[in-house]
Amino acid sequence: MYLSEKDVRAIATYARIGLDDTQVTTMTIDLNNIIESLKPITAYDLTDVEPTFHPIAGLSNVMREDRVQPGLTHAAALANAPEQQSGSFRIPPILGGGDA
């Protein structure tokens, strides 16, 4: 077993996903099974093998000219917001506990 339920709770906190107790139990089983299937990766001797982070060789830091370009209007940017107020995205208190 690679992960305990305690580990899974910690991962969920990091991933910002609230899991209930039943979900934690199921997720622990699923993740352990999946991690077991990743074993072939650990079986390799990878000394002196460079990593490949994307498939196009020699491509790095593609830059464009630093120029203002048309973008979304203020209204379009806010149009999909679950909640807005005075032209801004509205969120609950960041530090918690208080009244919104």
Q: Give me the residues that bind other proteins (CB under 8 A), please.
A: 3, 7-8, 11-19, 23, 27, 30-31, 33-35, 37-42, 44, 46, 49-56, 59, 62, 64, 72, 76-77, 79-83, 89, 91-97
Which one, of 19, 27, 21, 22, lies nearest residue 3 by Cα?
Answer: 27
Least distance CB 40 / other proteins (angstroms): 4
- Regarding beta strands 84-85 and 88-89, do their DSSP bridges make them parallel or antiparallel, or are they unpaired? antiparallel
Tokens read off for 57: 């060789």
* 83, amino acid identity: E
Of 1 and 76, nearer to other proteins (C-beta) is 76
Least distance CB 93 / other proteins (angstroms): 5
Least distance CB 47 / other proteins (angstroms): 10
* 75, amino acid identity: A
**89 has which bridge partners?**
84
